[in-house]
Amino acid sequence: MAIEQEIEKKAQRINEMLEEYLPKEEGFQKTIFEAMNYSIRVGGKRLRPMLMEATYQMFGGEGKIIEPFMAAIEMIHTYSLVHDDLPAMDNDMYRRGKLTTHAVYGEAMGILAGDALLNYAYETAGKAFALAAEQAKLAAEEELGFAVYDRVIRAYTLLAECAGVYGMVGGQVVDVESDGEDAPEITKEKLDFIYDKKTGALLCASMGIGAILGGASQKEIDIILKVAKKVGLAFQIQDDILDVTSTLEVLGKPIGSDTKNNKATYVSFEGLEKAKEDEKRLSEEAVAELEGIGKECTFLKELILFLIDRMK
């Protein structure tokens, strides 16, 4: 498919861009730099920076000011995976066919690598302020120069909010507390909360930052955040569906794990057919709202539909 080739091409370019922001592996703390870089280089879809850049371009954004935020969102996503894999959490030894960070560097260094990636993400995003200063100098009007700074401040704030206790971390907390034999029975409302925060928050950050830096109006930003929430929920529902319907060969990881672990999912709450209907409805609503903004968004729309309908 053409969209698959385009995604692969953009992912490769994002990988090259990420290399420019990774720390040099030197000094007394060389090990942590190696662990950070290993975690990033394990790979992945690069979905979040790709969504961010596509949204930025949808609103006419040009230039490199988006890149520090693209690198930062991938660092935050990666840190969350590094910590998810730890013995105290999911205790996974492999991710994407490679040893997890703690399996290579030890549990203590795995914790520190996640901590380091999270902190380094904000250092990296902060580089956008220097780029904003350059844009402000080039701006023909003083008002435009101030607007550039304001966008970076708003983008930085959204990144922090979506990654923290009111976003991804908050969703992870509720997910952890809902797991295990002694955990209280999870409700559909709580499951929605977990999916909205644990998966949806970083998608909101990705698309929201793209819109903010691209110069979208507040009304347009609000619509983009609504779209991102629906994409996040549909994305997670598809994960639940694949855990039931896919195969080990296609998915690349064991299937049926949610059922074996008695984990609450959309499929366990609503059944397979209703889950499929919900996913279809959410994806259609997201695309309709995106198109309703009135901007050219062909790649972004195709990317969203591909990710929601993916087979792995």
- Is the pLDDT at 240 greater than 70? The verdict is yes
Instruction: Decide if 204 contacts 260 (C-beta within 8 A).
Output: no
For the chain, the average pLDDT equals 90
User: Which is more confidently placed, 308 or 189?
Assistant: 189
Residue 2 above 50 pLDDT? yes
Which own/partner contact pairs does 240-247 have at CB distance under 8 Å and 24+ positions apart?
240/265, 240/266, 240/267, 240/275, 241/266, 241/267, 241/272, 241/275, 241/276, 241/279, 242/311, 242/312, 243/267, 244/272, 245/272, 246/311, 246/312
Task: For residue 43, name the pLDDT band (cuts at 50, 70, 90).
Answer: confident
Domain with 296 in it: 2-308
Instruction: Give me the CATH number covering residue 163.
Output: 1.10.600.10
The mean pLDDT of 59-68, rounded to a whole number, is 96
pLDDT band at 144 (very low <50, low <70, confident <90, very high): low
pLDDT of residue 230 exceeding 80: yes
Examine the pLDDT at 261 and tell me if it is beyond 70.
no
What pLDDT is attached to residue 256? 47
- Residue 312 banded pLDDT, cuts 50, 70, 90: low
pLDDT confidence bin for 248, thresholds 50/70/90: very low
**Region 48-67 average pLDDT:** 97
Residue type for 258, please? D
pLDDT of the residue at 274: 94
Q: What is the pLDDT of residues 171-200, one digit of tens each?
A: 999 999 988 777 778 899 999 999 999 999
Taking the chain, what is the end-to-end CA distance rounded to the nearest angstrom?
15
DSSP bridge partners of 95: 98
Task: Please report the pLDDT score of residue 207 as a whole number.
Answer: 98
3-state secondary structure the chain: CHHHHHHHHHHHHHHHHHHHHCCCCCCCCHHHHHHHHHHHHCCCCCHHHHHHHHHHHHCCCCCHHHHHHHHHHHHHHHHHHHHHCCCCCCCCCEECCEECHHHHHCHHHHHHHHHHHHHHHHHHHCHHHHHHHHHHHHCCCHHHHHHHHHHHHHHHHHHHHHHCCCCHHHHHHHHHHCCCCCCCCCCHHHHHHHHHHHCHHHHHHHHHHHHHHCCCCHHHHHHHHHHHHHHHHHHHHHHHHHHHHCCHHHHCCCCCHHHHCCCCCHHHHHCHHHHHHHHHHHHHHHHHHHHHCCCCCHHHHHHHHHHHCCCC
Residues facing 98 on adjacent strands: 95
pLDDT band at residue 252, thresholds of 50, 70 and 90? very low
**Region of residue 100 (phi > 0: left; psi between -120 and 50: alpha; otherwise: beta):** beta
Report the amino acid identity of residue 59: F
Alpha-carbon torsion, ordered 100, 209, 238, 183, to 10 deg? 70
Whole-number pLDDT of residue 139: 65
Does the pLDDT at position 120 exceed 80?
Answer: yes
pLDDT in tens, 66-107: 999 999 999 999 999 999 999 999 899 998 889 999 999 999
Indicate the range of 154-158, 180-184, 292-296 predicted with least confidence.
180-184
Please name the amino acid found at residue 240: D
Segment among 20-24, 42-46, 145-149 with least mean pLDDT: 145-149
Task: Give me 92's structure tokens.
Answer: 């996974």
Is the confidence at residue 46, as pLDDT, over 80? yes
Predicted confidence band at 246 (pLDDT cuts at 50, 70, 90)?
low
Token representation of residue 69: 């935020």
- Contacts of residue 138, defined as CB under 8 A and 6 or more positions apart, other chains included, come to none
Work out the percent of the chain whose per-residue pLDDT is above 70: 91
Domain count, the chain: 1
* pLDDT given at position 148: 87
